[in-house]
A = this chain, B = another copy of it.
Amino acid sequence: MRISGNPRFASSRLIICMLFVCALAAQAQTDPLPSWNDGAAKQAIIKFVQATTNQASPSYVTPDQRFATFDQDGTTWVEHPMYTEMIFAFERVKDLAPQHPEWRTTEPFKSIIAGNQAAMSKFTGKEFEEIFVATHTGMTTEAFQNIAKDWLSKARDERWHRPYTDLIYQPMIEVMQYLRANGYKTYIVTGGGQDFVRVYAQQVYGILPEEIIGSAVETQYTYNKEGQGILVRSAKGLLNNNFYGKPEDIYLFIGRHPKAAFGNSTGDQQMLEYTQAGEGANLEMIVLHDDGQREFAYGPAHGLPATDIGTFTQALYDEAKSKGWIVISMKNDWKRIFAWEK
């Protein structure tokens, strides 16, 4: 048989081979969310993007109106057993302790230095505020960013022994990239500190400093020894970007309703409501942490264990179902959670 040597047949095989490669490429192109299992959540995202970017669609959204907002803790990265920024604050207290001998006998610092977990789990709001003021204020904005950057480069989490910036949910990174590839501006809207998140957001999320909306203290403009203008972080709160604060601050920063919003807890409820209250197409999604094996399991919605960190109540679950918000099951909707998973 010389069929293989026949130039016409060889050429046909080449064409078939090329078609196959093209088909594979096309398939790759049509799956912008490879870390998502096929299901209602994945389909809702794709349908939303296609409908709002197709000029022939009744749901078409002009490019200048394409905004998507993402809560951070529990939505785009791990928040259990404790918010990363809180761990930073606790460890910062230990780092600063030698300069504050009085902390060895004063709460809440005493318990942090002693590593007294039982006492730390009972800290009051006022005590958390004291810790925040001691670790997050009194320095220039640049100095704070350097402190946070330095800590993030060295700190490792207890469960996976990885930098905290490795604990980002890969499926959410894909959603951000998919949205941006379709003309959406992606914003982080976090109860965490705006300046803490700005330190790493560009690198890990591809989200620029001006696209981070977070809780913030007032800064005070003054001058350094060289007479240059500097900003010092004061102890006075300016934005509390949780619950009602989220839609209020979204409006302050972008002046309109987002078209899509992603959250995971009761602190995100108002952001999702406000997104849905805008005119035209919109998408609301909420992450349920139901995968204790690969990440953490907490609710108390859906019979999951209760928690104070990222509470997702049954009432919120019911609201989501009644309003057409999509509940993302980490267990069922996410093929993998972290980029470094096997």
Residues of A within 8 A of B (CB): 64, 141, 185, 194-195, 198, 202, 208-210, 212, 216, 218-221, 228-231, 238, 244, 247-248, 251-256, 270, 273-274, 276-277
Bound form: Cα–Cα A276–B270 in Å: 40
A229 and B273 form a contact (CB under 8 A): yes
Let me know if B198 and A274 touch, CB within 8 A. Answer: no
**Contact A209 to B256, CB < 8 A, known contacts A221-B274, A274-B221:** yes
Copies in the complex: 2
The answer to whether A277 and B230 touch (CB under 8 A), given A64-B208, A209-B255, is yes
Chain B residue nearest to A269 (CB atoms) is B229
Q: 18 pairs across A/B with beta carbons < 8 Å?
A: A64-B202, A64-B208, A141-B251, A194-B252, A198-B255, A209-B255, A210-B254, A218-B248, A219-B248, A220-B248, A221-B244, A221-B247, A221-B270, A228-B273, A229-B274, A229-B276, A231-B248, A253-B253
CB of B277 within 8 A of CB of A228, answer yes
Shortest beta-carbon contacts, A-B, top 10: A209-B255, A221-B244, A228-B277, A229-B273, A229-B274, A210-B254, A229-B277, A221-B247, A219-B248, A198-B255
**Interchain nearest-CB distance for A219 vs B (Å):** 5
The winner among A212, A248, A252, A277 for most chain B CB atoms within 10 A is A252
CA distance A43 to B60 in the complex (A): 44
CB-defined contacts of A185 to chain B, threshold 8 Å: 210
- Chain B residues positioned under 8 Å from A229 (CB to CB): 247, 270, 273-274, 276-277
* Given A229-B274, A238-B238, 12 further pairs, Cβ under 8 A: A194-B252, A198-B255, A209-B254, A209-B256, A218-B248, A220-B244, A221-B248, A228-B276, A228-B277, A229-B276, A231-B247, A231-B248
Q: Smallest distance from the beta carbon of A278 to chain B beta carbons, Å?
A: 9
A194 to B208, CA, bound (A): 22
Q: Contacts of A219 on B, CB cut-off 8 Å?
A: 248, 251-252
Q: Which chain B residue lies CB-closest to A271?
A: B229
The residues of B that contact A212 with a CB separation of less than 8 Å are 255
Cβ contacts under 8 Å, A195 to chain B: 255
Could you tell me the distance between the alpha carbons of A7 and B100 in the complex, rounded to whole angstroms? 93
A252 touches B238 (CB 8 A): yes
A247–B270 Cα distance when bound, in Å, is: 30
Distance in Å from the Cβ of A220 to the closest Cβ of chain B? Answer: 7
Q: Which residues of B are found within 8 Å of A228, using beta-carbon distances? A: 273, 276-277
Instruction: Check B255 against A210 for contact (C-beta < 8 Å).
Output: yes
Q: Which of A220, A247, A255 has most B Cβ within 10 Å?
A: A255
Docked complex Cα distance between A202 and B62 (Å): 14
Q: Which residues of B contact A273 (CB under 8 A)?
A: 228-229
Residues of B within 8 A of A274 (CB): 221, 229, 231
Q: Point out the residues of chain B lying under 8 angstroms from A210, CB to CB.
A: 185, 210, 253-255
Distance (whole angstroms) from the CB of A62 to the closest CB of chain B: 11
Smallest Cβ-Cβ distance to A226: which chain B residue:
B277
Name which residue of chain B comes closest to A198, CB basis: B255
CA of A257 to CA of B218, assembled, Å: 17
